[in-house]
Each structure stands twice: as C-alpha cells, then as structure tokens.
Copies of this chain bind each other. A is one copy, B any other.
Amino acid sequence: MIVQMKPHATKAQFEHITQFLIKKGFEIKDVSSANIMVFGIIGDTKSLNPTDLEAFEGVFQVTRVSTPYKLASRSFKKTDTIIKVRHNIEIGGDQFVVMAGPCSVESYENTFEIAKAVKASGATILRGGAYKPRTSPYAFQGMGVDGLKILREVADQFDLAVVSEIMSEDMIETFEPYVDIYQIGARNMQNFHLLKQLGARTKKPILLKRGLSATIEEWLMSAEYIMASGNDQVILCERGIRTFEKYTRNTLDISAVLAVKELSHLPVIIDPSHAAGKYSMIERLSMASYAVGSDGIIVEVHPDPEHALSDGAQSLKLEKFDHMMAALRNMSAVLDKKV
C-alpha cells in the first residue's frame, strides 16, 4: 500500500502515521522526494482499508498495490479453476457452456417445451427463475418452490443441469434439492449476508452475477466472501453495467472477461440477454462472447416472448436460439473451446 501525503503535510504528520503503522507491525519504506512525502507499507495489508488511512491528517491519497482478495486471485492459484456440474459439464475448461431457459418458470408445459428445444439445440444447463427480483411490487414475482420443482423434473427428463436465482438465505434448504447451481443476482452481489450464508451452507457451484455498477475488484471481493466462507466453486457472470447509454438496457462490458482471466482463476460467462435487453442483439453478442474467450453464456429463451410473464423483449424464440447455436457450433471449428 502506498501512502501519499498532501503537498504541505508536515514532518510531524508523516511521523504520526508511520509510527502508527509500525506499531501495528508493518514495515515502512520511504519513497519521498524533494516535493512530496510518499511511503510504502510492507506486510499483510489485506485488513487495512485505504480509506481508514485517509483519516490521518496530512494524508492525500492511499493506493493499494496488492489485491484485497486472495482466494479468488490468480496469484493464489495459477491454474484455471474448472467447475464440474453433474456428469458431463465442465465450466472453465474446454467447453463453451450454454445455459438457456425462460426468464421466469411459468408452467410445466412451457418449461418442458423450452427444455426440449434448448437441449436439442445443444444447451446443457436449464435456467429459469422461480423467485424473481422485480423492480415493481406489482409485477409477477415468480412461482416459488413450485417453479423449482418444475425445473428439476423437466431438466431430469432431458439430462440438463438446473440453475436458478436465490434471493434470501432463508431459502437455501428449499433450493438445495432442486438446483445444480445457485445464482446470485446482480442486485444481491453485495448482499454480504447472503454471500456468507451460501458460502457456508452449500457445496454446489454458485453463479455470481456482477452488480449493475460493481467494479471488477468489488465483484471479485464478493467471490472472496463466498470462498472465505467455505465454497470455492464460484462462476462469475458479466451481465452488463449501468452507464449513460440507454439504447441498450445495460452496457455489456466484454473486456471484463479478459480482466477476470488476468486477475483470477475463476471461470467467467456472459449474459447477453440482460446486457442488451433486446432479442435482436443476442446472437451476435453471443458470438462475440465466444470469440473473446468467455467460458459460456446464459441466455433467455421463450417459445412466445410476447406472452412471456417477464423479460419478453430480451428472450429469443426457440428457432432463433437454434439459429444462434448453429452459428456458435460453426465458430467451434476455429476456436479453442468447443460448444
């Protein structure tokens, strides 16, 4: 950690903070020049918060040089983490994994139709929301546990894995028998209570969506919460960030995949549906997600988006999903990971 003093900070202020740190067991390396006092702090600074040091008078700015996360970092574990789901799926290895399904589970028949179609097109994981985080209290809030049961029953018929979003730690026991992967939604990425409880109470993989305005560092810190609580099976999911641009629902930060690959060993997938919010963009964004080197995608699919109970605008029709899968398989010939 590097501490930079204000232009007119006094020698006494410099002494005050450095003595404070030395007493805490850190080593200080002075890098001051004629114009400006600067020093480095050597030691395990993970528990030090830059903003705490900025409380000292005379301090201008504090910069972390080691990452605040450890278990999630590439320096801690150099090889890519590969997460196994059921007998045939590996996320983070040689497969480009496709998760597909409706935004919300609506009925057994609807889910069956979708599962059958996405399996035939090449998906291996069925997604579907049973508990929905809706912006409006007046919107459809999901089928609840009945939705989970439908997902499991249908998925088993087509040898698909199940991923579904959990919104509260109270539901862990409810979810456990039905899902293969727990999803933590973007709005709960910093619901630290949920992160800790899930980390401690399940051994199943956890799909951690990036928050709407979370930095990559904060996202990895949320993964660290889960890992530090006991579960290292974390899959990261970029789903678009909030920016000034409103033509798309969010701005897909495709470079985040590359950043995660540099900083962490965890697998990372892309959700083009929530990023774009427009079905017309999904196929091309999926192709780009594949080309950039992500480990997979999660896509919303519906046989009749106009009558979908939620997120119709971003759901692909079954035949459009099939078209997209053909395009991805086509690209398989020239890329490392295989669809």
- Say whether B55 contacts A315, CB under 8 Å: yes
In the complex, the chain B residue whose C-beta lies closest to that of A63 is B63
Contacts of A221 in B (CB 8 A): 135-137
Contacts of A311 in B (CB 8 A): 51-52
Check A145 for interface membership: any CB of B closer than 8 A: no
Check A310 for interface membership: any CB of B closer than 8 A: yes
With A38-B2, A259-B247, A306-B56 known as contacts, the answer to whether A190 contacts B187 (CB < 8 A) is yes
- Say whether A193 contacts B167, CB under 8 Å: yes
With A136-B46, A136-B224, A281-B255 known as contacts, the answer to whether A54 contacts B212 (CB < 8 A) is no
With A228-B137, A243-B244 known as contacts, the answer to whether A284 contacts B313 (CB < 8 A) is no
With A191-B191, A258-B280 known as contacts, the answer to whether A243 contacts B241 (CB < 8 A) is yes
In the bound complex, what is the Cα–Cα distance between A277 and B51 (angstroms)?
8
Contacts of A51 in B (CB 8 A): 249, 277, 311-314
Contacts A247-B259, A258-B281, A284-B291 supplied; 4 other A-B pairs, CB < 8 Å:
A46-B138, A54-B312, A55-B305, A167-B193
30 contacts between A and B (CB under 8 A): A7-B73, A7-B75, A27-B33, A31-B39, A46-B138, A47-B139, A49-B136, A49-B139, A49-B310, A51-B249, A51-B277, A51-B314, A54-B312, A55-B308, A63-B63, A68-B138, A133-B190, A138-B228, A187-B190, A241-B243, A241-B245, A243-B251, A243-B253, A251-B251, A254-B254, A255-B275, A255-B285, A258-B281, A258-B285, A331-B331
